[in-house]
Structure 1
């Protein structure tokens, strides 16, 4: 007994020890004593010994992790009813008596510990050197609901949850093909967080799949609590402000990207799924772009791109023009701006900085407060503070209008991580505008564009298909052509099966009149 305790203590102190594969003992009391020692001061771990005729056994689980009703009905009660006076083996229990859908067996004590902490139920049997694993997870969990960060007027209402297998099922429900592959990993020495890598065989290149697996396998960390941990470990340019991996709460978005040869990474415990590789233009696309008719999608997408430019450069342009280039302003408008700024004690740059920081502070306060109160604080706070600042002569009315338009423009971006990057870049551009005028804005914009053109995401150019130019793939960048015209998958991610659909799918009223199928 002391020998096993010493081995287990060494195992816990050194995860890379050669003694991790400790066998389950034939004596039930010995196994229970060893496991109770391992789970010392873990009050949520339940040991439930019971007798069924001559059979001695023990159920082991974490309270709150399992579906106790299923275990009782299909597990314990079946054993008690079927096993009378005869002795029975673990194999016979698993194959002939227990009717639970997911039952496995193990002979390793470390696998027993791992499975219990993952939410599985363990059945230890006296005189058997194996334990049965019941995968009947349950407890109080959030159900599938509408995504909160990516709402859409038209489209599916399902969003990911914090349960890994629920999320993989949502993807499998949309891609019902045996080519959809799911590779499992456990990340985190202490948390043992489950992780799934999804891809469609034949669409995702083997080199990309291997690269993603290599980057994930080299992660050695004590714990992973969200997909954001994984994102920072596997991105190409960690010092860049721009996100290089897309995250989403929508299963339909993940399914669409898998069909374009990309890879999805699902982390247990978070509803945000990672998609790689990602390009800049993916962050400007909303899921509803593909569900509305293409005329509406083209208008909204062009509007979104124009507003992205406003969110990035409008305050800088205002500062540059009012400070250095007044001759560019029409005379009537110039007189109006000059009159509103007559009593303002600060230069344009300081004025813009005050308003932008105040607006960002109100936005952050609105996020941290309860939802109903937060919306009221952010909206009323902006109105009240803006009006008070104008009346007090701290900022001018045109500056309040510029900052308001900038804030509204930043809210139109579909992806939060790209929107916050644009908001951060706004400040260095304002500094350049205050120092050098329009020349500074042009210089800063060229630096940003050069950086975007140099970046890559898992080997894919970040600014593709503009840099390098690919006219075929421009069908889904600034505009969204009709579905019957998007006949090819992106050639940067799909190398072989590039055809998305058959030819001649454009609808026509003549179909059916000349013997063609309707």
Structure 2
């Protein structure tokens, strides 16, 4: 009989279908015959040099085996707190053996296991397994240890005022960072494993009583429906659970900052943490949240509101500036003052291309330089992108390929895109800029209006986990605009966003408006 892992099955050793995920492997019970369990596990872990089988005797009387993965388990702690006490155990008895072993092992995380899939899961998590002769069950000893990166400031979301800590690639460290921010037992953390081969730990975090139970259930169900060989980064999950996979706009927020994740939880959102990546997903996502930065809530309200208005302005510039230049220069020259029109005409006198082609040349070149700066080493990336843009812009102007006004427009557009606080929305704007440029080159300002209308219509129909993408604006909720166009004082933001109204709508802050001090000296 041929085994499901590709070899002939040994007599008395059951099959294990390793082509499926660990959750779908049949619940094969452990055998009371120790050698039978060892032979089966060794056949599964054949050619795995890091899997260690340490056979020993408990009290020099009962045969046992210690199983662990070198590099995932803390071998020093295993030797000191597990192996040595068991070897020195005196007069062990089968009837009370497991109780005595638990007393002898000075490890807090000890659990009994009874099936083969349990061994696979525990050993992959860095735990050590003890199997004993004449016992149809084993023990999992929680002594994992692996290298992890230290907690540092996230480079993609820097702030001048605010916490300097960021998530890392270890999900258990990330959940502890959340627990430090929200020290309440109603912060719930549900874990599931996704991926047939990677079995990646994915944690769904929410605050019970604030998050809408329907939202939590929807997020959990979408994660459970994922069937894939492996999850190596949060982008795998983001693409599989979003509402409209073909939309150019991001439908989940992602962040490396624990304070942003904690603030999202307090608003009633759901946070998804993935083992192996510092990027954490937040659902649902709205358009307004993409233009908000964590520093908005740490600075003075006037400064935060001014910077927020500046972002909206430069969002429009990043999207429409090249298209408006092409449209006006091609179809609506009467809109340009005469002196400026003469200057532009003089600079374009030797340019062989129309304005649309000229804009495409510069935009594609600028995008290529930006990507090159990202991929190059940090020591030279910034210098190459900046110096390259200056040199190429000057050379293109001197060669008569592009005009000086076009170089200026593209430079302003690039600077505007850097003002957007979320990289995902910046990517969307960079992609949408090109079709709008084509429409402006074909129909002028009418083409721009057609493009804007199509984008707004798409945003009005877009949803993120059932929440309208233009939440607060369409449909209009005046009470929610206090954290969209402006950043209201904390004492005025006494309601949570709309998607959590059904559970606990009140009180991000229950503080009263500060009263002025009495300057007369009395109390």
TM more than 0.5: yes
Gaps of 5+ in 1: none
Shift of 1:503: 5.1
Question: Partners of 2:357 and 2:395 in 1: how far apart?
Answer: 17
Flag the 1:93–1:439 CA change in 2: closer, same or farther, 3 A. farther
Q: Say if 1:504 and 1:128 are closer, same or farther in 2 by CA, change over 3 A.
A: closer
Give, in whole Å, the separation in 1 of the partners of 2:191 and 2:83.
30
* Partner residue, 1:209: 216
Q: CA deviation at 1:66?
A: 2.1
Secondary structure of 2:498 counterpart: coil
Q: Deviations over 1:53-78 (max 9, x none)?
A: 22432221222112223323322233
Match of 2:304 among 287, 294, 297: 297
* CA gap 1:441/1:93 in 2 versus in 1, 3 angstroms: farther
Superposed CA deviations along residues 222-254 of structure 1, whole A, max 9, x for unmatched, are 111111111111111111000001111111111
Instruction: Confirm whether residue 2 of structure 1 aligns to residue 10 of structure 2.
Output: yes
Deviations 1:23-63 (A, max 9, x none): 11222222111111000111121222223422432221222
Whole-angstrom CA distance in 2 between matches of 1:219 and 1:185: 11
* SS class of match (1:247): strand
Tell me the equivalent position of 2:4: none
Task: Specify the SS of the correspondent of 1:481.
Answer: coil
Question: 1:87: which partner in 2?
Answer: 93
Aligned partners of 1:369, 1:19: CA distance in 2, in Å?
Answer: 44
Runs of 4+ off more than 3 Å: 13-19, 87-90, 501-504, 510-516
| 8 A Cα contact 1:105 1:130, kept in partner | yes
Return the match for 1:138 from 133, 145, 155. Answer: 145
How much has 1:319 moved relative to structure 2? 0.6
**Contact 2:209 2:503 survives alignment (8 Å):** yes
Q: Does 1:465 align with 2:495?
A: no
1:173: how far off?
1.2
1:99-114 aligned at under 5 Å gives the runs 99-114=106-121
* 2:251–2:286 contact (8 Å) kept in structure 1: yes
Answer yes or no: is 1:281 the counterpart of 2:288: yes
| 1:236 equivalent in alignment to 2:239 | no
> Deviation of residue 208 (structure 1)?
1.0
Cα distance in 2 for residues equivalent to 1:338 and 1:496: 62
Question: In the alignment, is residue 272 of structure 1 matched against residue 279 of structure 2?
Answer: yes
Shift of 1:336: 1.2
Partners of 2:34 and 2:64 within 8 A in 1: yes
Describe the SS at the equivalent of 1:407: helix
Greater shift in the superposed pair: 149-158 or 96-105: 96-105
The offset of 1:22, in angstroms, is 1.1
CA gap of 1:326–1:44, structure 2 versus 1, over 3 A, is same
Instruction: Return the alpha-carbon distance in structure 2 between the equivalents of residues 17 and 460 of structure 1.
Output: 32
3-state SS, counterpart of residue 195 of structure 1: strand
1:95-132, CA deviations, whole angstroms, 9 ceiling, x for partnerless residues? 41212122211110111012212322212222222221
Give the equivalent residue in structure 2 for 1:166.
173
Judge which range, 137-146 or 297-306, deviates more. 137-146
Q: Equivalents in 1 of 2:23, 2:374: separation in Å?
A: 46
Q: Are 2:374 and 1:367 equivalent residues in the alignment?
A: yes
| Inter-partner Cα distance in structure 1 for 2:55 and 2:167 | 37
Using the size of structure 1 for normalisation, the TM-score is 0.95
- Contact 1:260–1:494 (CA<8 Å) still a contact in 2? no
Q: Say if 2:73 and 2:145, in contact at 8 Å, map to a contact too.
A: yes
Q: How many residues align?
A: 513
Q: Structure 1 residues 442-451 or 487-496, which shifts more?
A: 487-496
Question: How far apart are residue 493 of structure 1 and its match?
Answer: 2.7
Q: Which range is displaced more, 86-95 or 65-74?
A: 86-95
Looking at structure 2, the residues matched to 296 and 307 of structure 1 have their Cα atoms a distance apart, in angstroms, of 16
Q: Quick one: which of 337, 342, 347 aligns to 1:330?
A: 337
Deviation at 1:87, TM superposition (A): 3.5
C-alpha distance in 2, partners of 1:101/1:235? 40
| C-alpha deviation, 1:515, in angstroms | 9.8
Deviation at 1:442, TM superposition (A): 0.9
Aligned pair in 2 of structure 1 residues 109, 259: CA closer, same or farther (>3 Å)? same
SS at match of 1:430: helix
For 1:488 and 1:512, the matched residues in 2 are separated by: 33
Deviations 1:184-209 (A, max 9, x none): 11111111111111111011111111
Shift, 1:514, TM fit: 11
Residue 358 of structure 2: SS of its match in structure 1? helix
**Is the partner of 1:485 in helix, strand or coil?**
coil
Q: SS of the counterpart of 2:206?
A: strand
Instruction: Verify: 1:435 aligned to 2:442, yes or no.
Output: yes
Q: Distance in 2 between matches of 1:415 and 1:469?
A: 24
Question: In 2, Cα distance between the equivalents of 1:93 and 1:459?
Answer: 54
**Partner residue, 1:187:** 194
CA shift in 2, pair 1:310/1:128, >3 Å? same
Aligned to 2:78, which of 59, 71, 74?
71
Q: Which runs of 5+ in 2 are unaligned?
A: 1-8
Contact (CA 8 Å) 1:90, 1:128: kept in 2 or not? no
List aligned pairs for 1:212-231, cutoff 5 A: 212-231=219-238
Q: Which stretch of the first structure deviates more once superposed, 381-390 or 484-493?
A: 484-493
Cα-Cα RMSD: 2.1
Structure 1 262/465 Cα, relative in aligned 2: closer, same or farther at 3 Å? Answer: same
